[in-house]
Amino acid sequence: MSWTCQNCNTVMDDDSFEICWNCSCGKGELKPERDFIKKIPDCTRCDESLTFLGTKNFHEGTRWGALGGLGELLVNKENLDMYACKSCGKVEFFIEGFNKC
């Protein structure tokens, strides 16, 4: 049996789930008990707000210059969101789009 979250209107296909996967609101509640999702993370070193520096593309392995664009199919590339603390200089990476809600 399915149920619909009263906070974000997401349809939960399984009645065994007691918390909405989209907004962390409990079944039958209008608002989540706690704010699990935070737009801008805090620095784990000094608890100041981090500044978003942009999305960086990281290239694993060597560059296959002789193969051109075809060689790029053989390597792994990851896009990571980069945040930095202006207070202590610490840099943190997150999965691309993880903090976008």
Query: Within the chain, what is the greatest distance between any pair of CA atoms?
Result: 60
Pairing of strands 11-12, 51-59: unpaired
Q: Judge whether residue 30 has pLDDT over 90.
A: no
What pLDDT does residue 101 have?
45
For the chain, percent of residues with pLDDT exceeding 70: 73
**SS3 labels along 26-94:** ECCCCCCCCCCCCCCCECCCCCCECEEEEEEEEECCCCCHHHHHHHHHHCCEEEEEEEECCCCCCEEEE
* Residues contacting 16, CB < 8 A, separation 6+: none
Q: Judge whether residue 79 has pLDDT over 80.
A: yes
pTM greater than 0.75 (yes/no): no
What pLDDT does residue 5 have?
86
Q: Judge whether residue 49 has pLDDT over 80.
A: yes
